[in-house]
Amino acid sequence: MSDSDSIKKPSSDATGLRKGLTSYGDSGFSLFLRKAFIKGAGYTDTALDRPVIGIANTGSAYNPCHGNAPQLVEAVKRGVMLAGGLPMDFPTISIHESFAHPTSMYLRNLMSMDTEELIRAQPMDAVVLIGGCDKTVPAQLMGAASANIPAIQLITGSMLTGSHRSERVGACTDCRRYWGKFRADEIDEQEIADVNNQLVASVGTCSVMGTASTMACIAEALGMTVPGGASPPAVTADRIRIAEQTGAQAVQMARDRLTIDKILTPEAFENAMRVLLSIGGSTNGIVHLTAIAGRMGLEVDLKALDRMGRDTPVLLDLKPSGQHYMEDFHHAGGMSTLLRELKPLLNLNAMTVTGRTLGEELERAGPGFAQDVVRPMSNPIYPQGGIAVLEGNLAPGGAIIKQSAANPELMEHEGRAVVFENAADLATRIDADDLDVTADDILVLKNIGPKGAPGMPEAGYIPIPLKLARAGVKDIVRISDGRMSGTAFGTIVLHVTPESAIGGPLAYVQNGDRIRLSVSKREISLLVSAEELAERARRNPVTPPTADRGYRKLFLDTVTQADKGVDFDFLRAPVNTGTTPRG
């Protein structure tokens, strides 16, 4: 094709550089101008006539979880070019859990908008999404779902484990464990400094089943990664090979017009929920799955999810529910090993990015081999799914507990409320010697929900009061409208909905109130009459937080509650097409 032919023929069913032409009133001129500028980078017409594959590059000096992004981008480009495509990487917002103020969750929706709009704005026939740290993968899947072009997820991969005094350690369950020891005066300042050097042995995401690992497994369960894409550690050759395969597969998806709506189906979300439950996954996974599903017009039925959990045992022996780390899971065969055990419970006809069904991919994966990281259904780590959904007058819209990481002795418990009004109040009083608290009490933290913080921080992992920690107390029932890191453990009730900042019942809990937790009955109840609660609300009405300008105003004006995914209401699909899981 001559230069003039390639310039004169943009069409409504455009591909490659002809997609989404800037409007100058003359589409031929628009393509002419676009090609003129890109040729300034040295491209030939032969290169520019190939399928264009966008690569969302989330590398950032502030994000060590994505420290291998440059190597991954190069490997994806190699795969794209080997398959006959033209790779075009572009930067997007990058969010790291420990470097985002006030919280990474506050910025997840902004990153999803950035991802969606750059996919829409720039010509690409398919997009590779490179993400790893907690909120980046859900943000990318949310944005790509709304843009609805062929999309494939590339996980950055987990970090390697370190060693402290011959004990294997990894972020961030061991971070919390050692910090708990330090608070309890079981180790000194020198040892906590020493372990700080060993907890993160390489770039990559947390090496336990935190939110990052959870979302990696969920992405593969959804069919959004190439087979085996969830588990290879960040700094391994396996991860680089996965990146090359991802680039090549993106070209095939572009040619097949395999758009994301053909993959993110109700059946795919059911598979992802089965996996979430069976891996002892982060409670954050529910919020993110709900947000992604909402972009596809699907409502998540929390009651149905809880019913699913009753016959989906925890099979993955990984911290914090078990003992192993992500690199062990990879050596044990990764997701194919887990999915093989879950096969009777899965929708095997769900489509994946390979153009084959999940069932077909499992057949291609082979019979498996002996290993001790993924348990058989007959010998689970925990007999039910790792997450249970609670209801009651304290949480009319539901609440969540990670039962596989909780203390069995506390999961049926009634106690006296010790109330903290907000995170600042908690910080001021939690370590006070005169704090009126015992190990039988229930800690309640208000105003850390979606609007209250804002951004629903992972402050739900309320520390054990110092006076109790020094006395040897390792767990206590804790309740909040916030979130908890998937790397954390304890008997902790989260995502209480509606949140206190908008006048949910949690706002009116007082010191000394009695609260009953019964995980077996899926109950979280405030033992105060409805009349008394109504009177408290009348005497002290709640005014939801507001802001005058900027992103904070957008956030506070439009963010939804936890049961809707903490997404912006205007970003959800305009039409509800169904619910998941079904039945």
Give the phi and the psi of residue 318 in degrees, each rounded to 5.
Answer: -135, 140
| Residues 395, 522: Cα–Cα separation, whole Å | 11
Could you tell me if 125 and 52 are in contact, meaning their C-beta atoms sit under 8 angstroms apart? yes
Mean pLDDT of 516-522: 97
pLDDT at position 435 is 97
pLDDT digits (tens, 9 = 90+) for 112-140: 999 999 999 999 999 999 999 999 999 99
Could you tell me if 183 and 430 are in contact, meaning their C-beta atoms sit under 8 angstroms apart? no
Nearest to 519 by CA among 414, 434, 425: 414
Q: List all residues 6 or more positions away from 123 whose beta carbon is below 8 Å from its beta carbon.
A: 16, 17, 18, 19, 20, 21, 34, 52
Could you tell me if 475 and 410 are in contact, meaning their C-beta atoms sit under 8 angstroms apart? yes
pLDDT digits (tens, 9 = 90+) for 167-217: 999 998 899 999 999 999 999 999 999 999 999 999 999 999 999 999 999
pLDDT at position 10 is 41
What one-letter code names the amino acid at 483?
Answer: R
Q: How distant, in Å, are the alpha carbons of 49, 113, 540 from that of 19?
A: 12, 20, 56
Answer whether residue 1 shows pLDDT above 50.
no
More confident residue, 11 or 54: 54
Q: pTM of whole model > 0.75?
A: yes
Token reading at 432: 């006070």
Nearest to 244 by CA among 85, 90, 115, 91: 85
| Residues 296, 269: Cα–Cα separation, whole Å | 11
Token reading at 311: 């016959």
Give the phi and the psi of residue 541 in degrees, each rounded to 5.
Answer: -65, 150
Task: Tell me how many degrees the CA angle 325-327-329 measures, rounded to the nearest 5.
Answer: 75
Share of the chain above pLDDT 70, in %: 98
Could you tell me if 481 and 129 are in contact, meaning their C-beta atoms sit under 8 angstroms apart? no
What one-letter code names the amino acid at 257?
Answer: R
In this structure, are strands 442-445 and 412-420 parallel, antiparallel, or unpaired?
parallel
CATH topology of domain 51-159+206-365: Rossmann fold (3.40.50)
The three-state (H, E, C) secondary structure of 37-94, written as one string = HHHCCCCCHHHHCCCEEEEEECCCCCCHHHCCHHHHHHHHHHHHHHCCCEEEEEECCC
Place of tokens 């949910």: 504
Q: Where are the domains of the chain?
A: 1-49, 51-159+206-365, 164-196, 387-543
| Residues 148, 260: Cα–Cα separation, whole Å | 5
pLDDT at position 582 is 86
Q: What is the CATH number of domain 387-543?
A: 3.50.30.80
pLDDT at position 58 is 97
Token reading at 274: 């089965």
What one-letter code names the amino acid at 92?
Answer: T
Token reading at 547: 């802001």
* pLDDT confidence band for 9 (50 / 70 / 90): very low
E strands, 421-519, are 442-445, 477-480, 492-497, 514-518
User: How crowded is the C-beta side of 60, counted as CA atoms within 13 Å?
Assistant: 19
CA dihedral (376, 174, 96, 230) in degrees, to 10, reads -20
pLDDT at position 8 is 47
More confident residue, 10 or 413: 413
Could you tell me if 452 and 499 are in contact, meaning their C-beta atoms sit under 8 angstroms apart? yes
Could you tell me if 274 and 345 are in contact, meaning their C-beta atoms sit under 8 angstroms apart? yes
Name the strand (E) or helix (H) holding 30: helix 27-39
pLDDT digits (tens, 9 = 90+) for 346-368: 999 999 999 999 999 999 999 99
